[in-house]
Amino acid sequence: MKKKATLFLKSGTIIILFLAAFYTTIAQPYNGVRELIERRVPWLSGHIILDSITSQHGNELAVLSMQKKKIKISASSASAASKGVYYYLTKYCHRSMSHLGDNLSAVKKLPVIKNRDTVHTAFNLRYALNYCTLSYTMAFYSWEDWEHELDWMAFNGVNLMLAPVGMEAVWQKVLRQYGFSDIEIQQFLPGPAFTAWWLMDNLEGWGGPVSNTFIEHQKKLEQQILNRIRSLGIQPMLQSFYGMVPTALKEKYPDWNIIPQGNWAGGFKRPDILLPADPHFSEMGKAYYNAIKELYGDDIYYFGGEPFHEGGNAKGIDVPAIAAAIQRTMLENMPNSTWVLMGWQVNPSDKLLEKLDKKHVLVQELFGENTDNWYKRKAYNNTPFIWCAVSNFGEKQGLYGKLQRIANEVYRAKTSEYTSLMTGIGTMPEGIKNNPVVFDLLFDLAWKNKKIYAESWAKDYVRYRYGSNADNLQNAWKIFVQTIYNSHEELHEGPPESVFCARPSLKVSSISTWGTRQRYYDTALFKKGVRLFLQYNNNTHTETYDIDKIDFVRQVLSNKGEIWYADMIKAYTQKDSTTFKKAANVFLNGILQQDSLLSCSNFFQLNHWLNAAYNYMDNEYDKRLFLQNAKQQITIWGPDNNPQTNLHDYANKEWNGLMRYFYYPRWQMFINDCLKTLRGEPFTPTDYYDFEVRWTKQENMYPAISLSLQEKDELVRRILE
């Protein structure tokens, strides 16, 4: 009897303990954050307690402490809770996540929090993504890719993101109501590699026509994205109805007040604008927002998009009245929403802002690492704004980021007379798979009160990026902050470009129309830093170290290419054919070396990009179309009937496969032409555009060739000589 009682007591104790653990788990808030922990750091999931607390003075925060040998994170929101977890990972565990590799392996012993530690932010909004990111980086993202992206955002405390992935389905619903056939609708929609510029009213149809299967896929993907971000405390920003309509609408309704918008860069015909004064504007706007609510929900409070972005025809138009009508239509259909406008070039104009209800407007200071329009324009005429940095254009390779300038400007803005209007901070890169240090700094600034000094901040970055505090890593990064990441005064649209990627010429001033080849740092000192970085000897190299190693060495070789190009052109101008041949061979060999180096990681492989495009959909039509999309974007860009397009090579890439099979033969043609000239032979200059267009239509996937460890080491040694 006594034995049975003992067993009963033990069983009862086990049941009670089980129920206690069960109800403790259920009682914990922030289910989405717990799922995030399980996805990215499962070794931590059983050691974290999440708790909910109220914000302080309206500011979000997370408090870290110990409770019964577990890490307790008390947070005022799901976003703050995610940031609290990541703060523990970076500060205590020296682990991190990025777009260029993760360092999230389990620690041997869980670090203890000796004293309560708090992270908090004075910024209501932490924003992520540029329209261009959706095409340059995310055009062919799988759900697995999106999961990684959204988890990275959550860990960094992002609570507002651009998310107009499934707008094709919205327009399909609207245009069907106005008598458009599916074929006519598809002719309005772009291919996925060019969606960004359709959303911004710059072009229509290019890269298409897409299939209904693709439209349905995008709709379901957007619904997945929205479900996930809602669980992580991230609000989506979709596209407003601002009057953009297909040029074909005028043919169907010739009496409507529709204004042509002329051409955009490259020679693209822009979509038309339906003026809000037309009674059909509010009618179509209602249909548009109803489609959004039906497909994606009515809990969406931020909408982007504006007329006359990067040009357009506003002649004779009452811009203040148009803007007020756009906002009024938005608020009538989506109450309490905010119209988000890009502070880029002259946008948004003073006229566009003039009659808006500023309580429902947010301006993004887009190019903050180079401009301070928030200050010069007096907070855009006293409009709430967020400070953002672009840092990359076209997702070009290149080490770049004005770290101290970013830190200084954020601090200056939030301590200025416009502090009450500075509601947030954000990142708006055209491409995001580059320079992870810039994004880390930017979102760290959102949770810091004091001014940050880049060189000191980078010490912590090094430790959590590589999981090591080795002297050679720290010393290398001290040099990197002084060189590639220095805050020079020149206004550059992104990193210095590689002459290897240029359309050949005797006078290559830049590779893309708005780019630069200027090196604003001491390249010899940078090379010394790379050598120090490579001296880090550890058998347990992280993925992040191995990727950065390739990227840093790539930059050294790219810098060498500048010298080799100059030698080649000098020999040509001196009509020295012997020296020219030697210099040309060195230059061409440099391209092949770069190609071999970049084969060592799929982050730098053409094949990885092309496979993502080809495998994005299952049907053969979309596969072939998207493969061509992928090739067009990174080469001619488009259109393919304009040899004079100023968009060619805008999204140039130092990628394995692209170096060997696109840039190399293009330079080889140029060198052959030069040799003919030096020999005095008559010749017809090579039509590079014809070669480029033909290349985009080929179906070769250019798989990478693997190098042995010995071959990699020998290649790196030669590059660093």
325 in Cβ contact with 277 (< 8 Å): yes
- Asked if the structure places residue 395 within a domain, the reply is no
CATH number at residue 89: 3.30.379.10
Q: Pull the structure tokens for residue 682.
A: 């008559």
- Asked if the structure places residue 398 within a domain, the reply is no
* All residues at 6 or more sequence positions from 461 whose CB lies less than 8 Å from its CB, including other chains: 437, 440, 441, 477
Tally of residues, the chain: 721
Say if residue 317 is in the same domain as residue 169: yes
- Asked if the structure places residue 557 within a domain, the reply is yes
Say if residue 510 is in the same domain as residue 613: yes
CA-based nearest residue to 296, from 224, 204, 355: 224
Q: Rounded to an integer, what distance in angstroms lies between the CA atom of residue 5 and that of residue 30?
A: 40
Bridge partners (DSSP) of residue 96 are 103
**How many domains does one find in the chain?**
3
What residues in the chain have per-residue pLDDT under 50? 1-11, 13-26
228 in Cβ contact with 205 (< 8 Å): no
Strand-pair category, 385-389 with 361-365 = parallel
Last residue of a domain, which of 327, 362, 397? 362
DSSP symbol at 484: T
Say if residue 38 is in the same domain as residue 72: yes
Q: What local confidence, expressed as pLDDT, does residue 242 receive? A: 95
- Provide the residue type at 471 as one letter: D
CATH number at residue 282: 3.20.20.80
* All residues at 6 or more sequence positions from 473 whose CB lies less than 8 Å from its CB, including other chains: 462, 466, 532, 533, 536
- Asked if the structure places residue 378 within a domain, the reply is no
Say if residue 116 is in the same domain as residue 133: no
- Asked if the structure places residue 354 within a domain, the reply is yes
Say if residue 628 is in the same domain as residue 647: yes
333 in Cβ contact with 285 (< 8 Å): yes
342 in Cβ contact with 365 (< 8 Å): no
Say if residue 235 is in the same domain as residue 277: yes
Q: What is the DSSP string of 508-558?
A: -S-SSTT------S-HHHHHHHHHHHHT---TT--HHHHHHHHHHHHHHHH
Say if residue 620 is in the same domain as residue 647: yes
Say if residue 44 is in the same domain as residue 136: no
DSSP symbol at 605: B
Last residue of a domain, which of 362, 377, 394? 362
Q: What local confidence, expressed as pLDDT, does residue 15 receive? A: 47
Say if residue 89 is in the same domain as residue 146: no
Last residue of a domain, which of 87, 120, 153? 120
Bridge partners (DSSP) of residue 173 are none
- Provide the residue type at 175 as one letter: L
* All residues at 6 or more sequence positions from 113 whose CB lies less than 8 Å from its CB, including other chains: 64, 65, 66, 71, 88, 92
Domain containing 578 equals 499-719
Which residue bears the tokens 């309704």? 253
- Asked if the structure places residue 87 within a domain, the reply is yes
Q: Tell me whether residue 224 is exposed, middle or buried, using C-beta atoms within 10 angstroms of its C-beta: 0 to 12, 13 to 18, 19 or more.
A: middle
- Asked if the structure places residue 393 within a domain, the reply is no
Say if residue 194 is in the same domain as residue 324: yes
- Asked if the structure places residue 440 within a domain, the reply is no
Element (H, E) at 458: helix 454-466
Say if residue 324 is in the same domain as residue 297: yes
- Residue 639, preceding bond cis, omega within 30 degrees? yes
The backbone region for 63, taken as left when phi is positive above 0, alpha when psi lies in -120 to 50, beta otherwise, is beta
Which residue bears the tokens 């033969």? 665
Say if residue 109 is in the same domain as residue 244: no
CA-based nearest residue to 650, from 497, 514, 512, 515: 512
CATH number at residue 626: 1.20.120.670
Radius of gyration of the chain from its Cα atoms, rounded to whole angstroms: 27
